[in-house]
Each structure stands twice: as structure tokens, then as C-alpha cells.
Amino acid sequence: MAGRPRDRAYGGAADFPRTRRINQLLRQVLAQEIERLADADERLRMVTVTEVNTLADLRNATVYFSSLSDDALAALEQRRPSLQALVGRQARMKRTPKLHFAVDPGVTEGAKIDEALRRLSDPSDEV
């Protein structure tokens, strides 16, 4: 059998070139549309699409984002059908993945680390 061995050493679907291209395309399309929608919906201001992770069967895609707004997730979920339709029109894929939105855990963890470092370096904040 030619090609890569089919074992878990290669990880998930993102290891395949086609899936990586689809993830990148979805990230670009969604970032542009969310930026356009931010003019009409304040909850979508300062939303950054950090990563898209599409499953191998292309039925589901998780869109990771960072935002300063606490209401961004609700706004994205509300706009999901129109965003999904836009992806279907622009991506020219046989199957449009169902979009799921999640706050990027890397950004959240980074903010926690920054806060901990600030507390360590600023002795006046100690209680």
C-alpha cells in the first residue's frame, strides 16, 4: 500500500493537505464575513477567527475565535445559518460542513498566564 501508513501517529484530519486547505479557506471566508457583519452587530467587533478544524468527513467544522466581547459566541451562533450558507456559496465544496463555534482555549490560557505574571511582577497588588 503506497502513501502514509494508516495509524494514529499522524493525528487527525488536519494532517491531510486537502483538509488543511479547506481549513484555511474556511478561516479566510469566515474572517472576512465576520468583519463585514461587525459594522451592523457590535457583538462581533474585535472578533478574530484563530483556527478552523474540519473533521475528515467534512460534515463538521469547529471555528475557534478570540474576542473582547462576552456576547460574541451568542452572536456567532445566531449568524451561523447565514455564515454556513456563505461558506457553501464561496467554497464550492460538495458538502458544506456544519459550523460550530468555540472560544480559542489557547487565547484564554494565555490571558490567565499573563495575569499570573502581572501579579508576580507587581508587588503592590498583593493582599
Angle between helices 17-37 and 72-91 (to 10 degrees): 120
pLDDT in tens, 17-57: 888 999 999 999 999 999 999 999 899 999 999 999 999 88
Q: Residue 21's domain is classified under what CATH number?
A: 3.30.300.20
- The whole-model pTM stands at 0.74
- Domain ranges, residue 49: 10-125
5 found inside a domain: no
Alpha-carbon span 18 to 7, nearest angstrom: 18
CB 100 within 8 Å of CB 91: no
Q: Is residue 4 part of a domain?
A: no
